[in-house]
Structure 1
Amino acid sequence: MSELHAPRSLIVTLYGAYGRESAAPVPVAELIRLLAAVGVDAPSLRSSVSRLKRRGLLESSRTDEGAAGYALSADARQLLDDGDRRIYGRPAPELADGWVLAVFSVPESERDRRHVLRSRLAGLGFGTAAPGVWIAPAALYEETRHTLERLELGPYVDLFRGEHLGFSATAESISRWWDLGSIAKLYEEFLERHEPVLRRWEHRGADAESAYRDYLLALDSWRRLPYADPGLPPELLPRDWPGGRAAEVFAELHTRLRDAGSDFVQLNGRTARRTEA
């Protein structure tokens, strides 16, 4: 298994792609089979599932047949639903939509909460406008609110909507708020790994296990990028920005492989199918 694909991440990716069609738990034996196909051994799987349980994302349960299994918690479903809007094609941002500002203050005695808050805002795609003032496109407001409420961080934060009025040009300011070079590199690495996979599938027939494996690995790589990239309006980005091409490659892989791989998955007694764009 590649170092790029941690077992815990692959488990979340599997549930996001194929494990939400019903509330029924996924049997442990199925998790072992499906994760083995992408290089995760059983001990690593069990260790990662335990961590996800402690984080409140998975809940142990029994299937109708009495087998041990794991189901998504309500919080996990909310996280995945929020993620769908980013991962499967968020609307093109417009500069006129404005920005959401998160202004926070955390007492020194609760320094650990300050670290969690900063980490979550960064994980949502916020940039730093000033100490204690973080900024993101306004489209991220609802997801930000859900996340802060889930982590009980709301009392430390005020959220505002607004527009940038100067004094420097907005296109210049965002290079201070975000590291665009690092984000572009992530897109380039995605293209380097997964564009050749797409090219191969353009010249081969459907094979359920291979389609599942290639799709899950591509999704596991891709789903991080819309969080590193906050979704800035095109007029604020460099002319050769690789994000558009990377999004096209993922969309083509999703269309070509997602349902083709579902025949290998067969969760809860039926082929799992979704209709994301």
Structure 2
Amino acid sequence: MQKINSLDGWIAAFLAAEPPRSKSLVMTIFGDAIAPHGGEAWLGSLIELLEPFGVNDRLLRTSVFRLAQEGWLGSQRDGRRSSYAITPEAMRRFTRAFRRVYAPLNLHWDGSWTLVLGANSLSAAERTALRKELLWEGYSMIAPGIASHPAGDAEALDALLGRTGMRGKVYVVQAAQLPGVESKPLSDLVAEGWDLSEVIEGYERFVARFSPLLALLAAETPNPQQAFMLRTLVIHAYRRVQLHDPQLPIELLPTPWPGTVAYELARELYQRTHRASSEHILAALQREAPFTPPSGASFLTRFGGLH
């Protein structure tokens, strides 16, 4: 994008160059902005929050309808009004996914691997569903029927197996390199199992796109709506890259790792916009539901602690 001298100019140029898909943007706003206030919003509030991004009433209704069909949102009506809330199961998935987004990159390796074995005994449909979910969680298919991760999250893996109906159908074990036996370097296994080129490119593109905002925010204080739009665009773009990051331990990543720079940039931009943006979010939600609660103390733990 060309050099921009104002926050409004930056927002307009960004939306013209990279307009977010409405359904994905609704997911970001529910996970980042609405979940801290109970996870529920009336359609009128959603229209108010999404309209500045170019998402009109029809697109919004289509998006929330599809998310409800997919089990992410539940809906209820009160006369002519409709409200949408994150379902309990989806809230657990939102919490895990966004916890990754806000978490510092300090995952260290204990030398062990989590292995999921026995997928070859499943039906073709079960294998496909399990493989898709494991890849989304950052696992690599290192051999037919064997998925592996050097820092597997036991809670997330158990939830994944439950969600896909695979509990008791596959083996889950931990393994480590056998001492005293010469083998290929583990860096080769990482290189063979995970193609990080797109993730690296995504982080570098994020840094290039959003770095100019630091100077603009130093020169101009955003109003609540501007702050909300900036915060949302930052998290939406960062989330799209970060959720494709397999979350490998620091010791197994190439150096320098661009994800570190991207995280620090996202953290700084969030720090500078969260207070004013929260005012805008709460005001929009309370216009339709006056008793919507403010965000709780857990909100301030995002990105290692917000001021």
- Residue of structure 2 equivalent to 1:151: 164
Are 1:57 and 1:72, in contact at CA under 8 Å, matched by a contact in 2? yes
Q: Secondary structure at the match of 2:172?
A: strand
Residue of structure 1 equivalent to 2:202: 186
Partner of 2:58: 43
Q: Secondary structure at the match of 1:56?
A: coil
The CA RMSD over aligned residues, in Å, is 2.4
1:25–1:61 contact (8 Å) kept in structure 2: no
Q: Percent identity?
A: 28
Q: How does 1:11-26 map to 2 (within 5 A)?
A: 11-23=26-38, 25-26=40-41
Question: Structure 2, unaligned stretches of length 5 or more?
Answer: 1-14
Matched ranges for 1:222-261 at <5 A? 222-261=238-277
Aligned to 2:11: none
Alignment-mate amino acid for residue 251 of structure 2: E
Aligned length: 275
Q: 1:114 to 1:24 in 2, by over 3 A?
A: closer
Residue 36 of structure 1 and its aligned partner are, at CA, apart by 1.4
Q: CA deviation at 1:71?
A: 0.6
Which runs of no fewer than 5 residues in structure 1 stay unpaired? Answer: none
8 Å Cα contact 2:105-2:260 kept in structure 1: no
Residue 178 to residue 244, structure 1, CA distance change in 2 (3 Å): same
SS of 2:236's equivalent in the other structure is helix
- TM-score normalized by the length of structure 2: 0.81
Distance in 2 separating the partners of 1:205 and 1:253: 12
Task: Check whether the contact 2:139–2:149 (CA below 8 A) recurs between aligned residues.
Answer: yes
Q: Which residue of 2 aligns with 1:93?
A: 107
Residues 48, 113 of structure 1: alpha-carbon distance in 2 compared, 3 angstrom cutoff: farther
1:133 is aligned with what amino acid? I
After TM superposition, the structure 1 stretch with the greater mean CA deviation from structure 2, 173-182 or 131-140, is 131-140
Q: What aligned pairs does 1:133-152 form with structure 2 within 5 A after superposition?
A: 133-152=146-165
What secondary structure sits across from 2:243 in the alignment? helix
1:80-102: CA deviation from partner (whole Å, max 9, x where unpaired): 11123311114612221622222
Shift of 1:4: 6.3
CA distance in 2, matches of 1:139, 1:107: 22
Q: 1:50 to 1:80 in 2, by over 3 A?
A: same
